[in-house]
């Protein structure tokens, strides 16, 4: 009996000492990480740390890079701002040539005056990226993405800073800039009104990739210096004169990006033009699961979750598991002919699933696809020219509003434009998702008591409970 009591006391003492040692190790580990300013990002999407490709690009810089975040110290703990500050601190640690400062606009007016031009407009919470004589100003609306509900509530959903920083560095070091004509007299929506998922204009989005954008018509603009033409949901037909200029221009090895109009008849000359590329268009139709039940009474909400095919345009998207959403797309048919000078590659197609897009919260509800076999949604085409490089056409069955739906759609367009110029970039970072973060909205001051609760209070309570149970059993 006495031996059993002694064994129980020894076991209780051992359990207590083991718990104290574990708590001590945890406290020491936490203190060491805080002292050395070390953080571990365990999220699958690396929400709080730099992408590996970004680190490689930053680590290989050979010229000094300066980052200026125009935020006063008393606002640094605000939602989103703190994440940007932590990200920029990590950026500065990747290379000794990178310097980072955070300060209010009125703290260093002389420094800003030497950096910027008098006509530059700058807002609080903006980020300035400078390398040599080149600089770029990123506004807070570009750095952070928000979702506004139908009730007017605003939620922070993404941090775009890393992607914008990478795009800027690639633009600074890009030696050749291509000139793109955005045709404005055929589109159903004025190009200046087109917005991306990041809340910036389409023109700025493309320029940030290192391209020069001009807007105009085929008959007014000189096409000789133009490398690529963008047609975004053309609702007006081409004229015979435009067709002639377009064919002559493209025969010199030029490129066209064409997004098809949504739920509209394709004009006659557009059909003729596409047939020269061995493409025919079938009208879109409201999808029905059975004759008495429409999948969506409002066609604006009907969309397909596209399937990616193996192609340079989709390679980076497949690596990041990104899938675009296409609203009620047309059916693109590849014509079978004896002409071997035209090469077609399917980039996107419909999938066994489709989605009912809910615009209010941008969620997709999956349902079976009643269309049956997959049908092409996007095709990359090359056509040989006898005296020049091959001409290229990228055609996608998506209207001008498809950029709004998700980041994958925007990424797809940029990758397609890069493919047209044979310079597909592999450094693409989706916005860091902050909306679904478990610690969404927590500040540094709130994190300290939470850490104390998890690391100290809860283990001590467990030890106290164990000692109470031991003493209670001992008295029995």
pLDDT of residue 347: 92
pLDDT at site 41: 61
pLDDT at site 288: 42
pLDDT digits (tens, 9 = 90+) for 205-238: 787 777 888 888 888 767 888 999 998 878 788 8
Same domain, 77 and 107: yes
Q: Does residue 221 sit in the same domain as residue 139?
A: no
86, pLDDT greater than 80: yes
Asked whether residue 317 carries a pLDDT value surpassing 70, the answer given is yes
Given this model, what pLDDT does residue 349 score? 85
Beta bridge partners of 327: 303
Q: Are residues 369 and 341 in the same domain?
A: yes
pLDDT recorded at residue 82: 86
Output the six-digit token pair for 167: 């795009």
Tell me the percentage of the chain whose pLDDT exceeds 70: 67
Contact 149, 435 (CB under 8 A): no
Burial zone of 340 (CB within 10 Å; 0-12 exposed, 13-18 middle, 19+ buried)? exposed
Q: Which long-range contacts (CB under 8 A, 24 or more apart) does 147-155 make?
A: 147/361, 147/362, 147/435, 149/360, 149/361, 150/360, 155/435
- pLDDT for residue 127: 92
Please state the φ and ψ torsions of residue 120, each to the nearest 5 degrees: -70, 135
The answer to whether residues 293 and 412 belong to one domain is: yes
Q: Confidence class of residue 80 from pLDDT cuts 50, 70 and 90?
A: confident
Count CA atoms within 13 Å of residue 300 on its CB side.
Answer: 7
pLDDT at 444 over 50: yes
431 falls within a domain: no
Most confident of 58-72, 172-186, 325-339, 423-437: 58-72
Specify the range with the lowest mean pLDDT, choosing from 57-61, 164-168, 222-226, 464-468.
464-468
Contact predicate 412/325, CB 8 Å: no
Per-residue confidence band for 446, with pLDDT thresholds at 50, 70 and 90 = low
Tell me, yes or no, whether 248 lies in a domain: yes
Please, which pLDDT band fits residue 92 given cuts at 50, 70 and 90? very high
Q: 393 falls in which pLDDT band (50, 70, 90)?
A: very high
Q: What pLDDT shows up at residue 375? A: 79
Determine, yes or no, domain membership for 202: yes
Q: Which of 417, 408, 409, 379 is nearest to 395 (CA)?
A: 379
* Domain end call among 99, 133, 149: 149
Both tokens of residue 281?
């268009």
pLDDT tops 50 at residue 298: no
Q: Which of 92-96, 197-201, 448-452 has the lowest mean pLDDT?
A: 197-201
Instruction: Say whether both 58 and 192 belong to one domain.
Output: no
pLDDT surpasses 80 at 123: yes
- Residue 171 in this model has a pLDDT that exceeds 80: no
What is the arithmetic mean of pLDDT over 293-316? 66
Q: Is residue 61 part of a domain?
A: yes
Query: Are residues 361 and 457 located together in one domain of the fold?
Result: no
Q: How confident is the model at residue 269 (pLDDT cuts 50, 70, 90)?
A: confident
- Residue 255: both structure tokens together: 């490129």
Contacts 24+ apart (CB under 8 A), 453-456: 455/23, 455/26, 455/27, 455/30, 456/23, 456/27
The answer to whether the beta carbons of residues 412 and 305 sit under 8 Å apart is no
DSSP 19: H
Q: Give the rounded percent of residues in the chain with a pLDDT score beyond 90.
A: 10
Predicted pLDDT of residue 476: 63
Q: Does residue 380 sit within a domain?
A: yes
Q: Residue 35: give the domain boundaries.
A: 2-41+453-475
| Listed range (302-306, 386-390, 449-453) with the worst mean pLDDT | 302-306
User: Are 117 and 23 contained in the same domain?
Assistant: no
Total number of domains in the chain: 3
Please provide the average confidence, as pLDDT, over all residues in the chain: 75
User: Looking at residues 107-118, what average pLDDT do you find?
Assistant: 81
Domain for residue 295, yes or no? yes
Asked if residue 241 is part of any domain, the answer here is: yes
Q: Provide the CATH number for the domain around residue 61.
A: 3.40.30
Query: Do 332 and 465 fall within a single domain?
Result: no
Q: Predicted confidence band at 22 (pLDDT cuts at 50, 70, 90)? A: confident
Mean pLDDT of 184-205: 69
Query: How many CB atoms within 10 Å of residue 178?
Result: 18
Tens digit of each residue's pLDDT (9 = 90 or more) over 237-254: 888 888 888 888 988 888
**Separation between Cα atoms, residue 184 and residue 192, nearest integer Å:** 9
Instruction: Look at residue 276 and tell me whether its pLDDT is greater than 80.
Output: yes
- Residue with the bigger pLDDT between 68 and 266: it is 68
The answer to whether residue 25 scores a pLDDT higher than 50 is yes
The CATH number that applies at residue 382 is 3.40.50.880
* Integer Cα distance of 351 and 307 in angstroms: 5
Q: Are residues 71 and 186 in the same domain?
A: no
Is 33 part of any domain?
yes
In angstroms, the CA 35 to CA 338 distance is 71
């Amino acid at each position: 009996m006495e031996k059993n009591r002694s064994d129980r006391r020894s076991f209780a003492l051992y359990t207590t000492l083991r718990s104290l040692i574990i708590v001590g190790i945890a406290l020491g580990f936490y203190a060491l990480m805080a002292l050395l300013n070390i953080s571990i990002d365990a999220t699958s999407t690396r929400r709080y740390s730099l992408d590996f490709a970004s680190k490689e690009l930053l680590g290989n810089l050979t010229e000094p890079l300066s980052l200026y975040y125009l935020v006063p110290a008393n606002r640094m703990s605000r939602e989103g701002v703190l994440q940007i500050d932590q990200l920029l601190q990590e950026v500065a640690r990747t290379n000794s040539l990178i310097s980072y400062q955070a300060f209010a606009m009125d703290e260093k007016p002389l420094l800003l005056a030497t950096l910027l031009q008098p006509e530059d407009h700058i807002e609080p919470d903006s980020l300035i990226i400078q390398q040599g004589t080149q600089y770029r100003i990123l506004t807070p609306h570009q750095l952070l993405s928000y979702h506004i509900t139908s009730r007017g509530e605003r939620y922070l959903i993404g941090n775009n800073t890393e992607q914008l920083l990478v795009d800027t560095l690639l633009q600074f070091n890009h030696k050749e800039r291509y000139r793109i004509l955005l045709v404005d007299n055929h589109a159903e929506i004025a190009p200046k009104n087109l917005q991306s998922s990041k809340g910036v204009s389409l023109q700025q989005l493309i320029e940030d990739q290192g391209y020069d954008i001009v807007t105009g018509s085929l008959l007014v603009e000189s096409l000789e210096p133009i490398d690529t033409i963008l047609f975004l949901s053309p609702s007006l037909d081409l004229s015979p004169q435009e067709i002639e200029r377009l064919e002559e221009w493209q025969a010199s090895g030029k490129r066209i990006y064409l997004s098809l109009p949504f739920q509209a008849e394709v004009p006659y000359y557009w059909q003729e033009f596409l047939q020269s590329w061995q493409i025919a268009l079938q009208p879109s139709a409201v999808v029905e699961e059975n004759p008495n039940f429409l999948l969506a009474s409002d066609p604006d909400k009907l969309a397909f979750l596209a399937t990616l095919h193996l192609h340079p345009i989709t390679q980076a998207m497949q690596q990041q598991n990104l899938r675009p959403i296409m609203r009620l797309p047309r059916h693109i048919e590849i014509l079978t002919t004896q002409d071997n000078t035209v090469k077609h590659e399917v980039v996107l197609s419909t999938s066994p699933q489709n989605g009912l897009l809910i615009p209010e919260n941008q969620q997709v509800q999956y349902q079976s696809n009643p269309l049956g076999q997959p049908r092409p949604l996007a095709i990359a085409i090359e056509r040989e020219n006898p005296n020049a490089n091959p001409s290229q056409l990228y055609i996608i069955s998506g209207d001008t509003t498809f950029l709004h739906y998700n980041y994958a759609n925007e990424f797809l367009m940029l990758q397609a434009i890069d493919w047209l110029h044979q310079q597909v970039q592999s450094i693409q970072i989706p916005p860091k998702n902050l909306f679904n973060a478990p610690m969404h909205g927590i500040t540094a001051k709130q994190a300290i008591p939470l850490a104390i609760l998890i690391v100290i209070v809860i283990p001590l309570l467990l030890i106290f409970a164990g000692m109470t149970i031991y003493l209670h059993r001992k008295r029995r």
